[in-house]
Structure 1
Amino acid sequence: MALEVQQHTRDEKADPHYDNNDNPGHDLKEIKSIKQFLNEARDENKRIWYLAGPVIFTCIAQYYLGATTQVFAGHLSTLELDAVSMEDLVISGLAYGIMLGMASALETICGQAYGAKQLHMLGVYMQRSWVILTLMCICLLPIYLFATPILRLFHQNEEIASLAGKFSLYMIPKLFTYGLNFPILKFLQAQSKVMTMAVVSAFALVFHLFLNWLLIIHLRLGLVGAAIALNASWWFIVFGQFSYIAMGYCPGAWNGFSRLAFKDLGSFTKLSIGSAIMMCLEFWFLMILIVIAGNLKNAQIAVGAMSICMNLYGWQIMIFFGLNAAISVRISNELGAGRPRAAQFSVLVVLMSSVTLGIFFFVLVVALRDVYGIPFTNNTEVVKAVSSLAILFACSLFLNSIQPVLSGVAVGAGWQWLVAYVNLGCYYLIGFPLGYVLGFLFDKGIQGMWIGQLSGIGLQTAILIFITCKTNWDYEASQASSRIQKWGGPRMSPEPNSEENPSLRSDVLA
């Protein structure tokens, strides 16, 4: 059966950044040749990477805010480095995952509202997310206030736990930037204004480097200086992005503060919690694996090898976070605009790109299996342990090139709760038990642990592929329309004299 995709005009194809939500005057046309398919795939790929590229840069720049502070803290003493790292990875890391996950609900509703041209609701949705996430910040405050007892509970070194707890108190202002910044990011992503995010993040990183040098090295303020630098840089991002919005660069989408921000908070919160659970189940799965590896024989070797692999995994996942955001925007925009077959075609194109990248990473790791651990350590035993994981690690990288993209499809379509259940079953009912049995009971060590992880991710990926292939995209478009009507008023209809093709809406179920 021939695929049906959007047939764009010559002028539209000439612009690689063209967003077909801006021009409804197009037809749907069957693809009848390989050449035509490749042309359409090329145009869609340009739109996806136009979105993904700046998002990847934004992720890396904001990741480096914490990483550079750790580097500067390392010039103070090993204890300060450990304290900053512990706060950043455990305390802030926990809050970061929850807040980013909850904000991801905006990828669904803002993207679909933008596709449906309900621009006036985007600002309202962002404000609702601000309200919900600010309340969540207050709920997360005890983690910061009682960080030292929490770290002691996990048997951390007393000196590290004490100093990390003190540093956590300094970092409370940064917690509240999460509640403001992440909704702004999703608000801008939905409108494809991703270059703004990248520019602000770039300036913030430069500002952050200067502050770290000034406060830690020059003025010798120690951890107080590190905290001031991190807090100031994150607030710089918030004010920078919001200034762009408030100055009128998002016409129609931002119309000032509204009382509607306090309406329908219950349904909004439910979707936000589903998004948070979906994301956190993945993040926590990888974090807990490292903790469990500390109980294996030769724990230092096991933790070192897994940490190196996780570090490389973190760099790879930056690329696929970009593709995740891009496909989420494309899916939500197209479903909101009532173009289900265009959404389906976008999924196909992004999967082609991600599989190609996955194969590249697989081959790279296998080819460099004996050397890719050397830059991280001088311990030959750790390097051998990393090498022994090469095939399993390469398979994980391949699956992780597909899984984040499918998660982006889920967010764009609003399947957060469904994927949360899938993640719970695959990771915590299959992956962990299997890894524990192989690693401890069958004495397979770190390889057994990794087989468990790989099994969980593999099963999750297979289920998401099955769900995506079986999706009725016409039904999903109708669900998007219902969601917009429920939370944003009636769907805008084309004017009687509009040039919009009536058949454009015929594939939306009533």
Structure 2
Amino acid sequence: MESNAESPLLTSKDGQQNAHFTGDVEDIPPINGINDFFVQFGVESKKLWYLAGPAIFTTVCQYSLGAVTQTFAGHVGTLDLAAVSIENSVIAGFSLGIMVGMGSALETLCGQAFGAGQVDMLGIYMQRSWVILFVTGLIMMFLYIFATPLLLLIGQTEDISHAAGKMALWMIPQLFAYAFNYPIAKFLQAQSKIMVMAYISAVALVLHTFFSWLLMLKLGWGLWGGAIVLNLSWWFMVIAQMIYIFSGTCGRAWSGFSWDAFSNLWAFVKLSFASAIMLCLETWYFMALVLFAGYLKNAEIAVDALSICTNIVGWAVMVALGFNAAISVRVSNELGAAHPRAAKLSVMVVVFSAFFIGVLLAIILAIFRHQYPALFSDNLQVQEAVYVLTPLLGACLIINNIQPALSGVAIGAGWQAVIAYINIACYYIFGVPLGLSLGFVANWGVKGIWVGMLTGTVVQTLILIWICYGTNWEKEAFLAERRIKKWSGQKEVEGEQ
């Protein structure tokens, strides 16, 4: 059984549950000398990996569901792979960015309610988020229904548009699984019940891989079989997590359904708006990369090759998102506990860890550069195109491991609105025009599009590093204290009474 209030990460010295308490009564002492640095670095690394390990495993498993379907689709046919790639990267990717963003209010409110001892509010917050995300899903459903004409409108080929549009219609159940899954995740994370999510995700991935092979390849059901298994896999995770919550394992955090879930909805939406913009801009950036490839000559090969690369990048990004979740908790906890030096050290540790993992993945990719393309497609042209893109892919793995970790720092420190403006400038004002210029004007093709857009990511990452380096962490700790008081669970309960 996983711990709740007894966890050293969540219980303060006076016995009160405190989501912002990190086990240290005071801030870490000033670091004097290299020995002190390595000692504190090791201590912080353990705290970071305590959170990041299960989070990374869970995000990798959940992302791998769509990636496995995409991999098997590559062995069905090039058009099938292009259809799954467009649906997975453009339609589902667009929706995922919005769903995760709109559900981001829970990351703040569940942690604060738990820290204030208002454990009963966690279930209400989760239900409130379910309501908001379900309505969002109803709106987003039109994107799935009209996917074919929309893809044709933006210039995708007729064959790819019709195939991807058909796949999108089949994947509507997955959209509503998103609406329930992400609030559940934040609800469980606030109570440090991370391992149950990892176990459920692992079982889902094993079953998904077997049944995808069985239906798509062995029985010859193709994309229809892939859609069935992908929908069922996501709903399996949702239902399994609901059973865990409803069985009483969360204590006072879940006391049943309540009409209070329908109160204060607008304030809940406004709280998540800045995070939604920030996350959506990042999610849609790589979605646009696949989309632009559809305008090139021999678009089917270009989309297939780029989708394989973005598939691999996606797996790496899931690792980075584990760091994102962990550093968001670490920074917010330390700032909330008035530990500015600890918060600053947390940033240093996560940047180093993310960089090391990115370099390791790039080295593995370089070693197996002749073998890995065949895992994703039987088409020799597609394999050759992927091989040519491998150096860019390796660079992308390193940059895209660091960038989400820094975004997690922004979430923990409450900088979402500022980062949203930076994302607009670096990605869409600089990166996209440069990519289109190199890809179409300079005739570099898919490689040029990727070089330009990767340059935008590099610029954004450098700016985030500069912001973190120049931050006054004592001031951030003061601002965090004001923010906690403003959104405290106790304050909301008193207001409702």
Secondary structure of the 1:423 match is helix
Are residues 441 and 167 of structure 1, via their aligned partners in 2, closer, same or farther at CA, if it must alter by over 3 Å?
closer
**Equivalent residue, structure 1, for 2:3:** none
1:107 Cα deviation from its structure 2 partner: 2.3
Moved more, 460-469 or 164-173: 164-173
**Equivalent residue, structure 2, for 1:501:** none
Note the alpha carbon deviations across 1:437-463, whole angstroms, 9 max, x for none: 233333444443333123211111111
> For structure 1, which runs of at least 5 residues remain unmatched after alignment?
1-16, 493-510
The reply to whether residue 146 of structure 1 matches residue 135 of structure 2 is: no
Given that residues 114 and 191 in structure 1 are in contact (C-alpha distance below 8 angstroms), is that contact kept between their aligned partners in structure 2? Answer: yes
Q: For this pair of structures, how many residues does the alignment match?
A: 476
Amino acid of the structure 2 residue aligned with 1:230: L
Given that residues 336 and 481 in structure 2 are in contact (C-alpha distance below 8 angstroms), is that contact kept between their aligned partners in structure 1? Answer: yes
The TM-score, its normalising length taken from structure 1, stands at 0.80
Note the alpha carbon deviations across 1:368-392, whole angstroms, 9 max, x for none: 6677656556777766765665554
The reply to whether residue 22 of structure 1 matches residue 11 of structure 2 is: yes
Structural RMSD (CA): 3.6
Amino acid of the structure 2 residue aligned with 1:27: E
Q: Percent identity?
A: 52
1:354 Cα deviation from its structure 2 partner: 1.6
**Equivalent residue, structure 2, for 1:129:** 129
Given that residues 118 and 490 in structure 2 are in contact (C-alpha distance below 8 angstroms), is that contact kept between their aligned partners in structure 1? Answer: no
Note the alpha carbon deviations across 1:44-87, whole angstroms, 9 max, x for none: 21222222222222223222333444566778887766655544
Query: Superposed, which structure 2 residues align to 1:110-259 within 5 Å?
Result: 110-115=110-115, 117-156=117-156, 158=158, 161-162=161-162, 164-209=164-209, 226-259=226-259
Moved more, 468-477 or 376-385: 376-385
Given that residues 396 and 454 in structure 2 are in contact (C-alpha distance below 8 angstroms), is that contact kept between their aligned partners in structure 1? Answer: yes
Distance of 1:315 and 1:216 partners within structure 2: 22
Amino acid of the structure 2 residue aligned with 1:26: V
Amino acid of the structure 2 residue aligned with 1:356: F
Moved more, 26-35 or 298-307: 298-307
**Equivalent residue, structure 1, for 2:280:** 280
1:241 Cα deviation from its structure 2 partner: 1.2
Amino acid of the structure 1 residue aligned with 2:26: D
Secondary structure of the 2:257 match is coil
Are residues 140 and 248 of structure 1, via their aligned partners in 2, closer, same or farther at CA, if it must alter by over 3 Å?
same
Amino acid of the structure 2 residue aligned with 1:153: L
Are residues 264 and 83 of structure 1, via their aligned partners in 2, closer, same or farther at CA, if it must alter by over 3 Å?
same
Distance of 1:469 and 1:91 partners within structure 2: 37
Distance of 2:320 and 2:228 partners within structure 1: 31
Given that residues 426 and 456 in structure 1 are in contact (C-alpha distance below 8 angstroms), is that contact kept between their aligned partners in structure 2? Answer: yes
Query: Superposed, which structure 2 residues align to 1:9-408 within 5 Å?
Result: 19-24=8-13, 26-28=25-27, 29-69=29-69, 84=84, 86-115=86-115, 117-156=117-156, 158=158, 161-162=161-162, 164-209=164-209, 226-296=226-296, 302-303=302-303, 305-364=305-364, 389=389, 391-408=391-408
1:183 Cα deviation from its structure 2 partner: 1.0
Given that residues 103 and 183 in structure 1 are in contact (C-alpha distance below 8 angstroms), is that contact kept between their aligned partners in structure 2? Answer: yes
1:42 Cα deviation from its structure 2 partner: 1.6
Moved more, 361-370 or 212-221: 212-221
**Equivalent residue, structure 1, for 2:16:** none
Moved more, 192-201 or 261-270: 261-270
**Equivalent residue, structure 1, for 2:18:** none
Distance of 1:216 and 1:368 partners within structure 2: 27
Are residues 473 and 490 of structure 1, via their aligned partners in 2, closer, same or farther at CA, if it must alter by over 3 Å?
farther
Distance of 1:68 and 1:305 partners within structure 2: 16
Are residues 216 and 32 of structure 1, via their aligned partners in 2, closer, same or farther at CA, if it must alter by over 3 Å?
closer
Secondary structure of the 2:32 match is coil
**Equivalent residue, structure 2, for 1:502:** none
**Equivalent residue, structure 2, for 1:463:** 463
Are residues 384 and 346 of structure 1, via their aligned partners in 2, closer, same or farther at CA, if it must alter by over 3 Å?
same
The TM-score, its normalising length taken from structure 2, stands at 0.82
Given that residues 107 and 332 in structure 1 are in contact (C-alpha distance below 8 angstroms), is that contact kept between their aligned partners in structure 2? Answer: no
Secondary structure of the 1:30 match is coil
